[in-house]
A and B are shown apart, each in its own frame.
Chain A
């Protein structure tokens, strides 16, 4: 059974420093990994994705790293900004409609 785990429920980082959010998964069936960001009272919004054939994808301040041997995914935000404070969900998908989400990590960026 595919599972996606985010073992840190919360993280606090000083503005300007790097935020690192982690995610582990239990098997490699599905081909895409994604990160979503959620503000209070809003739905999650797509942030960045990575295909399982890659080990890194970068988009501005956001970089996702995939370590297939460790079954580990991480999101790096640098430099962190107060507006990045939100809940971040990682997800795994085969590319069709089935997504498996983690429980989320609440990031707080301190000014």
Chain B
């Protein structure tokens, strides 16, 4: 158990579907993140929420829509995705300003068909 739980673990969706990824942490952290991991690429930061406010959006297409209703939960809403969006989506949390690392979830393996 990593302390950061992501559901679902695997997701296959069509390009016209709408789905949501969920992330939950009960570590008392105050910052949460979405990362995308594609093959042979660095981990790409997508969104950052600090104290439930979005503080960074790294030029992510609007077909990805994050939501942070409280400090323990983070969602990534997906709609009209493309096959190139297939990747591992990782959620992480941290204590803001700690500099001592994130706690990552196990990820959601997303396949867009």
Binding site for B on A (CB under 8 A): 4, 9, 31-32, 34, 36, 41-46, 49, 89, 93-104
A98 touches B56 (CB 8 A): yes
B4 touches A43 (CB 8 A): yes
| A4 CA to B103 CA, complexed, in Å | 20
| A97 CA to B53 CA, complexed, in Å | 13
A101 touches B101 (CB 8 A): no
From B39-47, B62-70, B78-86, give the one contacting chain A: B39-47
CB-CB nearest in chain B for A95: B99
A101 touches B50 (CB 8 A): no
Known: A31-B99, A43-B92. 14 other contacts (CB 8 A): A4-B42, A41-B9, A41-B106, A42-B2, A42-B106, A43-B4, A43-B104, A45-B104, A89-B43, A95-B97, A96-B99, A97-B48, A99-B45, A102-B42
**Count of interface residues, chain B, beta-carbon cutoff 8 Å:** 31
Which residues of B sit under 8 angstroms from A43, Cβ to Cβ? 2, 4, 6, 90-92, 104-107
Residues 1-24 (chain B) with a chain A CB within 8 angstroms? 2, 4, 6, 9
CB<8 Å pairs between A and B, sample of 7 = A34-B101, A43-B92, A44-B90, A94-B99, A95-B98, A97-B94, A102-B42
CB-CB nearest in chain B for A30: B99
Q: How many A-B residue pairs have CB under 8 A?
A: 69
Counting CB contacts under 8 A, is B113 at the interface? no
| A36 CA to B102 CA, complexed, in Å | 9
Which residues of B sit under 8 angstroms from A97, Cβ to Cβ? 31, 33, 48, 50, 55-56, 94, 96
B50 touches A9 (CB 8 A): no
CB-CB nearest in chain B for A44: B104
| A101 CA to B33 CA, complexed, in Å | 14
